[in-house]
Chains A and B, each alone.
Chain A
């Protein structure tokens, strides 16, 4: 089944404890992206990747890192999480930058 997977689905952590949210797609998509969803602010792009080893900032990159060492994986790294990073995170992928983005199931993160 073609899909985007994210892990973990739910995470509670404390301020400053590094964490990684994994994202993987099995559709051989070149383009991958991370969004966060917050009440009143909607969905905003954090980072995107056009292909392996090619990443760039979205609208709200502060406090996040990404890497794209393999085509299928695009992990989101929070080096020192803070409470304002409490959010619902979505990973998405598409065949290329013009095509439809398909979203993972989401990761709910709570930073205490």
Chain B
């Protein structure tokens, strides 16, 4: 069955520290997609990144970077030089084709607090 595990329920760091959010997934499919979404205190869900299972290249976007490792079924997210505005709940999600249609399976989320 599909499953996404975000073992870190809450993380609290001081501004300018680097922080890594862990995501481990399970799927029997060979074709799948991984996502990260951000949910700020205002409540909306903001798309950050999408990765397909055939592309293991790491990605960097400004202070954000993602490390995809199929060997460990992980898709970790690092924020460099964190800022207070990064405070949010971050969700990792998985979709595959096992059920024939795209369903996002979400992890439980990691609440990140950046303290000034």
Q: Does A94 contact B (CB under 8 A)?
A: yes
Shortest beta-carbon distance from B54 to chain A in Å: 13
Q: List 7 A-B contacts (CB under 8 A).
A: A43-B91, A43-B104, A92-B104, A97-B101, A103-B37, A104-B44, A106-B45
Shortest beta-carbon distance from A21 to chain B in Å: 15
Q: Check A103–B102 contact: CB distance below 8 A.
A: no
Give A57-97 as 1s and 0s: 1 = Cβ < 8 Å from B's Cβ atoms.
01100000000000000000000000000001010101001
Which B residues, 79 to 106, have Cβ-Cβ distances below 8 Å to chain A?
91, 95, 101-104, 106
Binding site for A on B (CB under 8 A): 33, 35, 37, 43-47, 50, 91, 95, 101-104, 106-109
Cα–Cα distance between A42 and B107 once the two chains are bound (Å): 7
Q: Which residues of A contact B33 (CB under 8 A)?
A: 98
Q: Check A88–B35 contact: CB distance below 8 A.
A: no
- Considering the complex, give the chain A residue whose CB is closest to the CB of B35: A100
- Considering the complex, give the chain B residue whose CB is closest to the CB of A105: B44
Shortest beta-carbon distance from A2 to chain B in Å: 12
Q: Check A56–B50 contact: CB distance below 8 A.
A: no
Known: A31-B102, A35-B104, A45-B104. 15 other contacts (CB 8 A): A42-B91, A42-B106, A42-B107, A42-B108, A43-B104, A48-B101, A90-B45, A98-B33, A98-B95, A100-B47, A100-B50, A103-B45, A103-B46, A105-B43, A108-B43
Q: Does A13 contact B (CB under 8 A)?
A: no
Residue among B43, B102, B107 making CB contact with A94, cutoff 8 Å:
B102
Residue among B45, B95, B103 making CB contact with A58, cutoff 8 Å:
B103
Cα–Cα distance between A102 and B46 once the two chains are bound (Å): 8
**CB-based A-B contact count at 8 angstroms:** 51
Chain A interface main SS type: strand
Q: Which residues of B contact A103 (CB under 8 A)?
A: 37, 44-47
Q: Check B101–A56 contact: CB distance below 8 A.
A: yes
Q: Which residues of B contact A100 (CB under 8 A)?
A: 35, 47, 50
Cα–Cα distance between A100 and B109 once the two chains are bound (Å): 18
| Given A88-B43, A90-B45, A100-B50: A50 and B101 interface contact (C-beta under 8 Å) | yes
Q: Check A42–B109 contact: CB distance below 8 A.
A: yes
